[in-house]
Amino acid sequence: MKEIQNRDPSPRSISPTAPNRIYIFGGTGSGKSSLAETLSKGLNLPVHDLDEIQWKKGYRQTRDSAKKKKMLDELSHSNKWIIEGAYTGWIEDTVKRCDLLIWMDTPLLKSIYRVLNRQRTIQRVRLWDILRFAVKYRLNFSKSNYQETERIYNQYRGRKERVQTERERRELLANLILK
């Protein structure tokens, strides 16, 4: 499984209350990956993308539920990680292990804008699929939907942040990574 390593050698101070296990979720285009990479650099934590668990190589076929759960379980039992993704339904045990749960609750139009401007989108067909998923998530037409994300977030009793604006994102980063 691909792991994004900290590539930023610039010195930063890490808040003494910074978490070691961070779970970031939200819809497609919400800014999960971007936040995860920034936190990885600032907190020196490896990032794991749930797409790498959900999909087999080539993003054409999903893994079976037992395999996904086993892979995620192995990752989440380590001491340091950032796990990010848009999935629900097989993540709750991992959410229980995190020190910080972050819900990227980005408005739908902003998410669509971000998806359209992604430079890493592989194909136009895939872009259409991603856009459909973003809309279905927010309008509750998918299994990994907004209401399910909200339910998981509300039931979590540990430290959590709901990020809806760029200002809230900057404040979260400032509280975790001291320059």
pLDDT tens-digit series, residues 100-136:
999 999 988 888 878 777 655 455 546 667 777 677 7
Taken in order 113, 118, 123, 127, the sign of the CA dihedral is negative
Given a cut of 80, whether residue 6 has pLDDT beyond it is no
- Does residue 5 lie in a domain region? no
User: Mean pLDDT across the stretch 28-40?
Assistant: 92
* Selection from 109, 117, 71 nearest residue 91 by Cα: 71
Please report, as a single letter, which amino acid is at residue 170. R
Interacting residues of 121 by C-beta distance below 8 A, sequence separation 6+: 115, 127, 130
- Does residue 11 lie in a domain region? no
Could you tell me what percent of the chain has a pLDDT over 70?
79
Interacting residues of 142 by C-beta distance below 8 A, sequence separation 6+: 133, 136
- Does residue 7 lie in a domain region? no
Specify the number of domains making up the chain: 1
- Does residue 1 lie in a domain region? no
